[in-house]
Protein backbone atom coordinates (compact mmCIF):
# COMPACT_ATOMS: atom_id res chain seq x y z
CA UNK A 1 0.00 0.00 0.00
CA UNK A 2 1.33 3.44 -0.96
CA UNK A 3 2.10 5.93 1.78
CA UNK A 4 -0.40 8.76 2.13
CA UNK A 5 0.81 12.30 1.69
CA UNK A 6 -0.14 13.23 5.27
CA UNK A 7 1.87 10.31 6.65
CA UNK A 8 4.90 11.10 4.46
CA UNK A 9 4.76 14.77 5.41
CA UNK A 10 4.62 13.90 9.11
CA UNK A 11 7.58 11.53 8.72
CA UNK A 12 9.65 14.19 6.94
CA UNK A 13 8.74 16.85 9.48
CA UNK A 14 9.61 14.55 12.39
CA UNK A 15 12.91 13.55 10.79
CA UNK A 16 14.12 16.98 9.68
CA UNK A 17 12.39 19.45 12.01
CA UNK A 18 11.45 17.45 15.11
CA UNK A 19 11.38 20.43 17.45
CA UNK A 20 9.65 23.07 15.36
CA UNK A 21 6.73 22.71 13.00
CA UNK A 22 6.92 26.45 12.35
CA UNK A 23 10.56 26.18 11.27
CA UNK A 24 9.54 23.40 8.89
CA UNK A 25 6.83 25.64 7.44
CA UNK A 26 9.26 28.54 7.07
CA UNK A 27 11.79 26.30 5.31
CA UNK A 28 9.03 25.24 2.90
CA UNK A 29 7.96 28.85 2.35
CA UNK A 30 4.46 28.13 3.66
CA UNK A 31 2.29 29.27 6.53
CA UNK A 32 2.28 26.71 9.34
CA UNK A 33 -1.49 26.35 9.03
CA UNK A 34 -1.00 24.92 5.51
CA UNK A 35 1.28 22.24 6.94
CA UNK A 36 -1.21 21.50 9.71
CA UNK A 37 -4.06 21.11 7.21
CA UNK A 38 -1.98 18.84 4.96
CA UNK A 39 -1.24 16.60 7.96
CA UNK A 40 -4.93 15.82 8.45
CA UNK A 41 -6.17 12.49 7.05
CA UNK A 42 -7.86 12.98 3.69
CA UNK A 43 -6.65 16.58 3.36
CA UNK A 44 -5.56 18.03 0.05
CA UNK A 45 -1.83 17.46 -0.51
CA UNK A 46 0.59 20.09 -1.76
CA UNK A 47 0.56 21.22 -5.37
CA UNK A 48 3.54 20.37 -7.60
CA UNK A 49 5.51 23.45 -6.47
CA UNK A 50 4.95 22.51 -2.84
CA UNK A 51 6.14 18.98 -3.59
CA UNK A 52 9.27 20.39 -5.24
CA UNK A 53 10.00 22.55 -2.18
CA UNK A 54 9.41 19.58 0.13
CA UNK A 55 11.91 17.47 -1.84
CA UNK A 56 14.45 20.29 -1.86
CA UNK A 57 14.20 21.06 1.86
CA UNK A 58 14.21 17.45 3.07
CA UNK A 59 16.27 15.72 0.41
CA UNK A 60 13.48 13.19 0.01
CA UNK A 61 12.84 11.55 -3.35
CA UNK A 62 10.70 13.83 -5.49
CA UNK A 63 8.99 10.97 -7.29
CA UNK A 64 7.92 9.42 -3.97
CA UNK A 65 6.55 12.77 -2.80
CA UNK A 66 4.64 13.33 -6.04
CA UNK A 67 3.11 9.86 -5.92
CA UNK A 68 2.07 10.30 -2.28
CA UNK A 69 0.48 13.61 -3.28
CA UNK A 70 -1.63 11.84 -5.92
CA UNK A 71 0.46 13.13 -8.78
CA UNK A 72 1.66 9.78 -10.04
CA UNK A 73 1.17 10.79 -13.66
CA UNK A 74 3.66 13.63 -13.25
CA UNK A 75 6.09 11.32 -11.43
CA UNK A 76 5.77 8.77 -14.23
CA UNK A 77 6.42 11.44 -16.84
CA UNK A 78 9.50 12.65 -15.02
CA UNK A 79 10.74 9.11 -14.65
CA UNK A 80 10.43 8.60 -18.41
CA UNK A 81 12.28 11.83 -19.17
CA UNK A 82 14.96 11.34 -16.53
CA UNK A 83 15.76 7.63 -16.24
CA UNK A 84 18.46 8.19 -13.62
CA UNK A 85 17.47 8.90 -10.02
CA UNK A 86 16.57 12.54 -9.40
CA UNK A 87 18.40 12.59 -6.09
CA UNK A 88 21.63 10.65 -5.98
CA UNK A 89 23.02 11.93 -2.68
CA UNK A 90 23.58 9.38 0.02
CA UNK A 91 21.47 9.67 3.18
CA UNK A 92 24.50 11.11 4.99
CA UNK A 93 24.90 13.84 2.35
CA UNK A 94 21.18 14.58 2.44
CA UNK A 95 21.36 14.99 6.22
CA UNK A 96 24.38 17.28 5.83
CA UNK A 97 22.37 19.52 3.48
CA UNK A 98 19.50 19.71 5.95
CA UNK A 99 21.78 20.50 8.89
CA UNK A 100 23.70 23.13 6.91
CA UNK A 101 20.44 24.90 6.10
CA UNK A 102 20.10 25.67 9.81
CA UNK A 103 23.54 27.32 10.14
CA UNK A 104 24.30 31.03 10.16
CA UNK A 105 26.57 32.48 7.45
CA UNK A 106 29.49 32.63 9.93
CA UNK A 107 28.96 28.99 10.89
CA UNK A 108 28.79 27.98 7.22
CA UNK A 109 32.14 29.73 6.56
CA UNK A 110 33.71 27.87 9.49
CA UNK A 111 32.36 24.52 8.25
CA UNK A 112 33.62 25.21 4.71
CA UNK A 113 37.05 26.14 6.07
CA UNK A 114 37.14 22.93 8.12
CA UNK A 115 36.09 20.76 5.18
CA UNK A 116 38.71 22.40 2.95
CA UNK A 117 41.42 21.71 5.54
CA UNK A 118 40.27 18.10 5.89
CA UNK A 119 40.09 17.48 2.14
CA UNK A 120 43.43 19.20 1.46
CA UNK A 121 45.07 17.12 4.18
CA UNK A 122 43.60 13.93 2.69
CA UNK A 123 44.69 14.95 -0.82
CA UNK A 124 48.21 15.60 0.43
CA UNK A 125 48.30 12.16 2.05
CA UNK A 126 47.03 10.52 -1.13
CA UNK A 127 49.64 12.21 -3.33
CA UNK A 128 52.56 11.78 -0.95
CA UNK A 129 54.86 8.80 -1.31
CA UNK A 130 56.35 9.27 2.11
CA UNK A 131 55.78 11.18 5.30
CA UNK A 132 54.46 14.71 5.09
CA UNK A 133 57.21 17.28 4.43
CA UNK A 134 58.49 19.18 7.42
CA UNK A 135 57.40 22.75 7.76
CA UNK A 136 59.99 25.44 8.48
CA UNK A 137 58.73 25.69 12.05
CA UNK A 138 59.08 21.94 12.63
CA UNK A 139 62.51 21.84 11.03
CA UNK A 140 63.84 24.76 13.15
CA UNK A 141 62.49 23.13 16.32
CA UNK A 142 65.02 20.29 15.86
pTM (2 decimals)? Answer: 0.58
Is 103 within 8 Å of 111 (Cβ atoms)? Answer: yes
**Of 56, 53, 41, which is closest to residue 7 (Cα–Cα)?**
41
Cβ-Cβ contacts under 8 Å for 138 (sequence gap 6 or more): none
Arithmetic mean of pLDDT over the chain? 81
Please state the rounded mean pLDDT for residues 3-13: 91
Q: Which residue has the higher pLDDT, 10 or 123?
A: 10
Q: Is 44 helix (H, G, I), strand (E, B) or coil?
A: coil
Distance, in Å, from the CA atom of 56 to the CA atom of 86, rounded to the nearest integer, reads 11
pLDDT exceeds cutoff 60 at 121: yes
pLDDT of residue 82: 77
Is 27 within 8 Å of 15 (Cβ atoms)? Answer: no
Amino acid sequence: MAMTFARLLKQLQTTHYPHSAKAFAVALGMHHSRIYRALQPGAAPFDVRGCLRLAKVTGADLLTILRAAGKGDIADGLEELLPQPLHTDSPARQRLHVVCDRLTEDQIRMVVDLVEVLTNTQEQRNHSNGPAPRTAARASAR
